[in-house]
Structure 1
Amino acid sequence: MIDLDAFESYLQTKVKEGQEGRVKSAMAYSLVNGGKRMRPQLLFATLQLYGFDPTIGFPCASAIEMIHTYSLIHDDLPAMDDDDMRRGQPSCHVQFDEATAILAGDGLLTRAFDVVLETNVDAEKKVGLVSALSKYSGVDGMIYGQELDLKAESAKNLTLDDVFSIDTYKTAKLLTLPFVCAAIIAGKEEDIPTWQKIGYALGIQFQIQDDILDQTQSSQALGKSTSDNENHKQTFVSLMGLEAAKKKVLSYQTEIETMLSSFEGDLSYLQTLIDFMTKRTY
């Protein structure tokens, strides 16, 4: 297991480096206040599986978390989902203002590519990490998922296949990224196709569980808005039904565990994380 307090300290240092200002304060406000740090932990757990000291992944994990947080800041904006609460506190644009929130998101995204280059690996692997961050978070990754999600808001008769497609990009891509980055750092690029399959299954499972919680928990309990449910947005739960959605989560867990069994090494940390993601209640 990794000392997450040490990672939090590292993350705070990285976001606060350089010029002080209102935008930097907004970046730090959104980045260091809360969050389960699932993506960094997936990276650390995969490095542990490969026999590496997880702390070598601190720069890359910070970069991924910066990209994830920037996406949340922009997703909460009035032009997107218009959510006023995130991680149990006012969203960035509510705490500051819309213009500052946009710049804070931009700042976190660009800072991520600077921080990832501090990873203690050779130049070729650094290029691989930068390429992975761009591919999985950009217009062919997470951003494409956001585009599909926006289109879906005005679409009629959204199908289950449509929701799978949206969440393949919007959610699963950033949950696959930690596995891919860990494989690059460890010099195990041949494992990336398997990690991509695991990341897809985990991402869809994670989103289905999110939809279940939106249906069964209050926004106060979750620490975020349940706007998808309140706005009658088509989700896995609305299209599959609650009980079928719960069964699908368990099915994906079995599929993930089967794929993980092909790896040799210490799987305990990774299995604990996946078990939490399956059974989480917040």
Structure 2
Amino acid sequence: MKTDALLTRWLERTEEQLQDALPDPELAPQRLHQAMRYAALGGGKRMRPMLVYAAGYLFAAEEARLDAAAVAVELIHAYSLVHDDLPAMDDDDLRRGRPTTHIAFDEATAILAGDALQTRAFEILADAWMPPALALNCIKTLAGASGAAGMCGGQALDIDATGQQQALADLKHMHALKTGALIRAAVRMGALCGEASDAQLAQLDSFADTLGLAFQVRDDILDVEASSEQLGKTAGKDQAQDKSTFPSLLGMDGAKATLSELATAMQAALIPFGQRAAALAALAELTVRRSH
């Protein structure tokens, strides 16, 4: 099957699986259930679940085995966005072209919706159609990427660094946790479901680490060059909050040159996997060239 057709199929499958995974908005507590669905089903690139399917495809993993990991990582991502937008964090009122969850509902409901999305992710993995040992490995992978040693730790470092000039190495480390850890977990869970070897996992970890960095560099570039309408979120927030970014440290030309180097490195990391890596390569290309 052609790569574009695969990506379309996985995107549609992700939406179907998310719909089924989330609670009925007509059942009590309705407001919480409605907020969960609002946060998770309100569009988005679905990059992380797509990476699960693409990495699993490398090793001919059954899509039914990949579904739980794909949904779980997207629910974690959705929860992180709900909490990131809260007044105590980035204090944003726009996400994916719509009011953020705490604006559309209220702050308390948004906090609870984020909490419930997070716990639902691990419930789905615990009940997944896969051997128990594999499910446990996926749970451990996702939990590690989500907590203090991953996404939450990166967010804490981001808060601490606001208003300060970071060294480039510190900026990279922060984003390796805040953004990269969940991307790495998505790729790794897909590969685990396909019974990848330790050597193959290490090669894909390298690819995913580069992808996570490229994702953030592109995000920083777009924060400067794109409008809020294009982004679906408030543009220029990094500069307004006096945050270090790749363009602020490297200049815009330097940031774009770094992004080009990362794109080359990602494609090189996939060469050993041959043609079945075409979907992963396409997702890497989308990351580098995305406009929102």
Aligned AA for 2:174? I
Amino acid paired to 1:210: D
Q: Is the 8 A contact 1:44 1:55 kept in 2?
A: no
- Counterpart Cα distance in 2 of 1:188 and 1:237: 37
Deviation at 1:119, TM superposition (A): 2.6
Q: Does 1:281 align with 2:281?
A: no
Measure the CA separation in 2 of the matches of 1:204 and 1:4: 23
Report the CA distance between 1:78 and its aligned residue. Answer: 0.5
The residue number in structure 1 matching 2:100 is 91
Task: Note the 1:1-282 alignment, pairs <5 A.
Answer: 1=6, 2-17=9-24, 19-154=28-163, 156-190=164-198, 191-226=200-235, 227-264=237-274, 266-282=276-292
Structure 1 CA distance, aligned partners of 2:28 and 2:195?
A: 35
**Aligned position for 2:3:** none
Deviation of residue 184 (structure 1)?
1.5
Looking at structure 1, the residues matched to 273 and 10 of structure 2 have their Cα atoms a distance apart, in angstroms, of 24
Deviation at 1:262, TM superposition (A): 1.6
Structure 1 residue 250, shift from structure 2 partner: 1.0
CA contact (8 A) 2:154 2:175 kept: yes
* Aligned-partner SS, 1:7: helix
Give the share of equivalent positions with the same residue, in percent.
37
Q: Give secondary structure in 2 for the equivalent of 1:262.
A: helix
One-letter amino acid of the counterpart of residue 83, structure 1: D
Q: Secondary structure at the match of 1:266?
A: helix
CA RMSD of aligned residues (A): 1.4
Matched residues in 1 for 2:67 and 2:95: separation? Answer: 24
C-alpha separation between the residues in 1 aligned to 2:257 and 2:63?
33
Equivalent residues of 1:84, 1:90 under 8 A apart:
yes
Would you say how many aligned residue pairs link Structure 1 and Structure 2?
Answer: 281
**Deviating runs (4+, > 6 A) in structure 1?**
none
What letter corresponds to residue 260 of structure 1 in structure 2?
Answer: L
Deviates more, 1:1-10 or 1:220-229: 1-10
- Give the counterpart letter for 2:85 in structure 1: D
Partner AA of 1:257 in structure 2:
Q
